[in-house]
């Protein structure tokens, strides 16, 4: 077998990607630039690269996810890795094997990269301490979802040219959202003005300390916004526990044409998916001309390729 060409040196000094926290603005831009190249590759007929040839990537999802998992799978395969998907049902883990046991078992199979999603905040970091390969956080509880924030930033940058100076309004269930946390960190790092909008029951205590402006009134919060980022509201949270009903939530916090009109005329609408049409977003808006929702999915693959490529520089070569 031929020796693969040495990977292109990248200015990304981390072995894992556990969150946006801890990344410098320059490192974020490095990843976005790499992703930009991947977008071009993904639009060619020949989409294969060989950066990860011979490498094994395991997608370990303790929480089911169609979109993120298939995006990581495709990204790995396009870079030449052997990708294995492991769906670990929550119940079987609870029955016996702990997260750490699972990590040690998997580590023995000598993967090069583990992509992990888990329902508990901090679980991915805990796992990363117990394995010898690179670990990518694909979402841990209400903590972080770094590749989502990166793909959102890439999408925004491609349309607005720059992140700095933009006003971004993140709307909905901030309290339970890892997407919100990672986006707040990333957008602040790149110089955007970040707002969060939601009912008080879905705004976590001390959120203003994370460098955001807090709004409880969607119209005021959207006024003058460049980007409107909607979050998914989980069904069990909208029937009396955090908000009284779907009807009431949509009335005050659902994105429709009337509310969107308060944002800038060229404001763009985003959603990490999967959407609850008619709960947090009106179908006409989701499918409308201002919506970037489908493009976010495309950028997702590119960003995950960029992350895998950046981490590949740190994979052991002997």
Minimum CB separation of residue 130 from other proteins in Å reads 9
Q: Count how many residues are written for the chain.
A: 318
Peptide bond into 274 cis (omega under 30): yes
Minimum CB separation of residue 79 from other proteins in Å reads 29
Q: For 75, left (φ over 0), alpha (ψ -120 to 50), or beta?
A: alpha
Minimum CB separation of residue 142 from other proteins in Å reads 4
Separation of first and last alpha carbons in the chain: 15
- Alpha carbon 116 to its chain centroid, in Å, reads 12
Nearer to other proteins, 143 or 232 (CB): 143
Minimum CB separation of residue 73 from other proteins in Å reads 24
Nearer to other proteins, 121 or 315 (CB): 121
Cα separation, 70 vs 259, in Å, equals 33
Nearer to other proteins, 203 or 301 (CB): 203
Q: Which has the closest alpha carbon to 123: 178, 68, 194, 180?
A: 178
Q: Could you count the other beta carbons within 10 Å of the beta carbon of residue 24?
A: 12
- DSSP SS3 for 158: helix
Residues that bind other proteins (CB under 8 A): 21, 98-100, 118, 120-123, 125-126, 140-144, 178, 181, 204-207, 209-210
Nearer to other proteins, 69 or 128 (CB): 128
Minimum CB separation of residue 135 from other proteins in Å reads 14
Nearer to other proteins, 20 or 260 (CB): 20
């Amino acid at each position: 077998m031929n020796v693969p060409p040495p990977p292109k040196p990248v200015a990304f000094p981390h072995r894992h990607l556990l969150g946006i926290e801890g990344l410098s603005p320059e490192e974020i831009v490095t990843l976005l630039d790499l992703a930009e190249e991947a977008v071009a590759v993904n639009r060619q007929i020949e989409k294969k690269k060989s950066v990860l040839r011979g490498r094994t990537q395991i997608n370990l999802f303790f929480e089911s996810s169609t979109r993120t998992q298939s995006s990581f799978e495709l990204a790995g395969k396009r870079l030449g890795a052997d990708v294995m998907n492991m769906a670990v049902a929550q119940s079987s883990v609870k029955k016996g094997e702990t997260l750490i046991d699972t990590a040690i078992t998997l580590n023995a199979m000598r993967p090069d990269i583990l992509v992990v999603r888990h329902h508990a905040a901090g679980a991915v970091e805990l796992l990363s301490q117990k394995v010898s390969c690179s670990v990518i956080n694909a979402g841990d509880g209400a903590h972080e979802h770094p590749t989502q924030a990166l793909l959102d930033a890439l999408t925004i940058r491609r349309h607005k040219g720059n992140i700095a100076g933009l006003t971004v309004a993140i709307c909905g269930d901030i309290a339970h959202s890892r997407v919100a946390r990672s986006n707040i960190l990333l957008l602040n790092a790149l110089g955007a003005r970040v707002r969060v909008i939601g009912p008080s029951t879905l705004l976590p205590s001390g959120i203003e300390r994370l460098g955001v402006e807090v709004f409880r009134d969607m119209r005021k919060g959207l006024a003058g916004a460049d980007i409107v980022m909607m979050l998914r509201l989980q069904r069990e949270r909208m029937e009396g526990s955090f908000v009284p009903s779907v009807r009431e939530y949509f009335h005050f916090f659902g994105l429709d044409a009337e509310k969107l009109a308060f944002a800038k005329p060229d404001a763009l609408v985003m959603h990490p998916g999967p959407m609850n049409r008619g709960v947090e977003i009106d179908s006409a808006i989701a499918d409308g001309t201002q919506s970037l929702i489908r493009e976010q999915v495309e950028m997702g693959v590119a960003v995950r390729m960029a992350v895998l490529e950046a981490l590949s520089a740190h994979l052991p070569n002997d």
